[in-house]
Amino acid sequence: MDSVADLSGRVILVGSSGGHLAQLLALAPLWPREQRHWVTFDTADAVSQLVAENVTWAHHPTTRNVPNLMRNAVLAKKVIAEQRPDVIVSTGAAVAYPFFLLAHAKGIPTVYVEVYDRIDTRTLTGRLCRPLSTHFCVQWEEQQRLYPGSVLVGPLL
In a domain, 138, yes or no: yes
Contacts of 4 (CB under 8 A, 6+ apart): 111, 135, 137, 151, 153
Question: What type of residue sits at position 155?
Answer: P
The 10s digit of each residue's pLDDT in 124-141 is: 999 999 999 999 999 999
Of 114, 136, 111, 137, the residue nearest 124 (C-alpha)? 114
Q: What was the pLDDT predicted at 62?
A: 80
Q: What is the mean pLDDT of residues 147-154?
A: 96
What's 106's domain CATH number?
3.40.50.2000
In a domain, 3, yes or no: no
Q: Where are the alpha helices (DSSP H) in 57-95?
A: 66-83
Of 89, 120, 82, the residue nearest 24 (C-alpha)? 89
Q: What is the mean pLDDT of residues 17-46?
A: 96
Q: What is the mean pLDDT of residues 59-70?
A: 88
Number of domains composing the chain: 1
Q: What was the pLDDT predicted at 3?
A: 47
Dihedral in degrees, nearest 10, Cα atoms 137, 139, 141, 146: -60
Model-wide pTM > 0.85: yes
The pLDDT-based confidence of 4 (bands split at 50, 70, 90) is low
The 10s digit of each residue's pLDDT in 80-114 is: 999 999 999 999 999 999 999 999 999 999 999 99
Dihedral in degrees, nearest 10, Cα atoms 4, 53, 9, 59: 70
Q: What was the pLDDT predicted at 1?
A: 38
In a domain, 5, yes or no: no
CA distances from 9 to 35, 37, 134, 140, 155 (A): 7, 11, 16, 27, 24
In a domain, 137, yes or no: yes
118 pLDDT above the threshold of 50: yes
Q: What was the pLDDT predicted at 63?
A: 76
Helix, strand, or coil here: 89?
Answer: strand
Residue-averaged pLDDT of the chain? 94
Residue range(s) defining the domain that contains residue 58: 11-152
Distance in angstroms (rounded) separating the CA atoms of residues 66 and 85 = 26
In a domain, 6, yes or no: no
In a domain, 128, yes or no: yes
Of 49, 22, 26, 54, the residue nearest 38 (C-alpha)? 54
Is residue 118 within 8 Å of residue 142, measured between CB atoms?
A: no
64 pLDDT above the threshold of 90: no
In a domain, 157, yes or no: no
